[in-house]
Structure 1
Amino acid sequence: MPKHYLVTGGSGFIGAALVRRLVQDGHQVRVLDDNSRGHPRRLGDVVNAVEFVTGDIRDLAAVTKAVKGVDGVLHLAAVNGTKHFYEKPETVLDVGVRGMLNVLDACRSEGVGDLVLASSSEAYQTPPVVPTPEDIPLVVPDVLNPRYSYGGSKLISELLAVNWGRTGFDRVAIFRPHNVYGADMGWEHVVPEFVRRAVAAIDLSPRGPVPFLIQGDGTQTRAFVHIDDAIDGIVTVIERGEHLGIYHVGNPEEVAIADLARQVVSILGREAEIQAGPPAPGGTQRRSPDIARLSALGYTPRIPLKDGLPGVVDWYAARSRGQDSIASAAE
């Protein structure tokens, strides 16, 4: 049955892809975003079918107005990107925590009982079990490390959503995305960053192996999920997720960071010479989701990294030399 949804952060990378899918599925969609990192152009050919409200998730009046009259709220507004975690942790926390409180208060005041929250695998940081189920402890290892501003904000948001959601809501569901990648996600993520650096290194090394410096020794692993698969997973949570249910959205296929770098350079037609560098403070050695809980609802990722990565690398490579001029538009 078609519904009327508010998507906060709906001009961001994941938010816009979700909005496009919801419209294509026949739903009515309102977007709340201040476009500080998003852009309405991401909505593509559905932009005229969407009610776009420009506003800051930290402004309770704006959030309350945007929530009014909808059937459900899909809360994705956040400041993502590892670079931002280190450089502006106060803003990351302000948007994450104040935004969550505003959404909860607005839902209560406007009688909206269906809320789906985007959390993150960063909420548990270094998992004790890999592949990782949803019921492991959420952890902030070091409050002095600004990296944990994002994971901490998601941890707090989950606590708020679950405990506000115990009363006054028909359903509160949470999904934790794991390393979503795709075209037009902004530059402050590992795949776009690797493409940018690979193009620059290839320009400096016209022949032979291409020197490619990475953080750490490259044995660290991540499990990347293509944006199309991620949206399938999120829609599964929206349609079938249980009250107070928490679901990993991802693809458990692991890749070592050194191998990811080799694949990126190989897609660009060259061979990488991996050079180890100092590890990032607070980095995690291994991360991969256990998706059994979401799979039980009918979700199956369809795009392995080898099939999804080439198109994304090509998209960023075509734009990397003009990064300074397009970065603000891509964020």
Structure 2
Amino acid sequence: MTTNPDSGPDLRPRPTEGSVAGTTVLVTGSDGFIGSHTVERLVADGARVKAFCLYNSNGSLGWLDQSEVFAQALRDGQAEVVLGDIRDPEHVAASIEGVDVVLHLAALIAIPFSYVAPRSYVETNVIGTLNVLEAVRRHGTPRLVNTSTSEVYGTPEEVPITEHHPLRGQSPYSATKISADKLCESYALSFETPVVTLRPFNTFGPRQSARAVIPTVLSQLLAGADQVRLGDLTPKRDFTYVTDTADGFVRAALCDVAPGTTIQLGTGRTVSIGEVVELCRTVTGSTAEIVTEEARIRPEGSEVQILLSDPTRAHEVLGWAPTVSLEEGLARTAEWLRPRVDPETAARYHR
């Protein structure tokens, strides 16, 4: 494999080995960004989906409320909704009983808010994952895919980062994800729980929260702003388009690997936030200037300076490789955002 930090590795995805068609897959966090795209992919591949969404009094299904693919699957009996809370062990266990695969994506993810409310991250990301592990263990579920994050590495000792790199919690959020990953590792070693940990790098695309950098930039530019308010422009990230990430989850559900295996999903290309801004300007045709806003800058010791994946294991084990470039993904995301941008709120800071 050859790796170029600017263009990424020269890899091609292989056909998926096996199929989820006819299997029952429970997806926690189905109402979220990656979860909703993964649900749509599973439906397209013929799986029967149990969409575990966060209970709320309005009965909202988050992004699935806007998915015609999911609506049709409900009408056809190919999908069902389970409203609940990942922090409730009894309901989680009852929901998982009888399924073939659990894709565990439910999590609190915003790093800035984890500085404000760290306990909520422990309860959702750590205790929630424990509840899923216990349910899978109790029912003998054949496969669990745990969702990690590249943030668990902190600022790396070397790049590209492999799965063997040490873990470092530079934010309360990343600390809770490290804890969840280690719980999965311990259950694999102690009980042979058939869990695979998938570690996506920075996923982006339609439906992503406005608190993330790419929708933050694109929303302000599409709203016609003369100035774009951002934090530090120097950190570098490895961005993966959301449909490629969803493809990784389907492949992880099917792969034959030892319990406790960790697999990264990243492109092997890193770009600075400043470079992302320039690409977003190109996509939108904007000439807005960048203004640094103090509230958006993370504590110095908490900011991860660079993330760059080594996608070798994902390619060798899953046959996975990204198919959508950063440039193409930004164009698709801008097109999706364009009719949804509210000029009154586009510059608002979301923790």
* TM-score, length basis structure 1: 0.87
1:68 positional shift: 0.8
8 Å contact kept, 1:17–1:43: no
- 2:334 corresponds to 1:320: no
Match of 1:306 among 320, 324, 327: 327
After the TM superposition, which of the residue ranges 234-243 and 151-160 deviates more from structure 2?
Answer: 234-243
Segments of 5+ residues of structure 2 without an aligned counterpart are 1-18
Q: Measure the CA separation in 2 of the matches of 1:55 and 1:157.
A: 20
Q: Measure the CA separation in 1 of the matches of 2:265 and 2:66.
A: 21
8 Å contact kept, 2:64–2:70: no
- 2:173 corresponds to 1:116: no
* TM-score, length basis structure 2: 0.82
SS of the residue corresponding to residue 62 of structure 2 reads coil
1:69 positional shift: 0.7
Q: Determine the structure 2 residue equivalent to 1:172.
A: 195
Segments of 5+ residues of structure 1 without an aligned counterpart are 142-147, 206-210
Instruction: Identify which of structures 1 and 2 has the higher relative contact order when contacts are C-alpha pairs closer than 8 Å and 6+ apart.
Output: 2
SS of the residue corresponding to residue 166 of structure 1 reads helix
- 2:251 corresponds to 1:222: no
Q: Determine the structure 2 residue equivalent to 1:181.
A: 204
Match of 2:79 among 41, 44, 50: 50
Q: Percent identity?
A: 30
1:1-331 correspondence to structure 2 within 5 Å: 2-34=22-54, 38-47=62-71, 48=74, 49-141=78-170, 148-169=171-192, 171-200=194-223, 202-203=224-225, 205=226, 211-216=227-232, 218-240=233-255, 242-243=257-258, 244-275=260-291, 279-281=297-299, 282-297=302-317, 298-321=319-342
8 Å contact kept, 1:11–1:35: no
Q: How many residues were matched structurally?
A: 312
SS of the residue corresponding to residue 167 of structure 2 reads coil
Task: Report the AA paired with residue 40 of structure 1.
Answer: L
8 Å contact kept, 1:223–1:254: yes
1:75 positional shift: 0.8
Give a deviation string over 1:162-190, Cα, whole Å, max 9, x none. Answer: 11122444521101111101111221111
8 Å contact kept, 1:82–1:189: no
1:198 positional shift: 2.6
Give a deviation string over 1:175-231, Cα, whole Å, max 9, x none. Answer: 11111011112211111111233345x34x4xxxxx434323x23211111111111
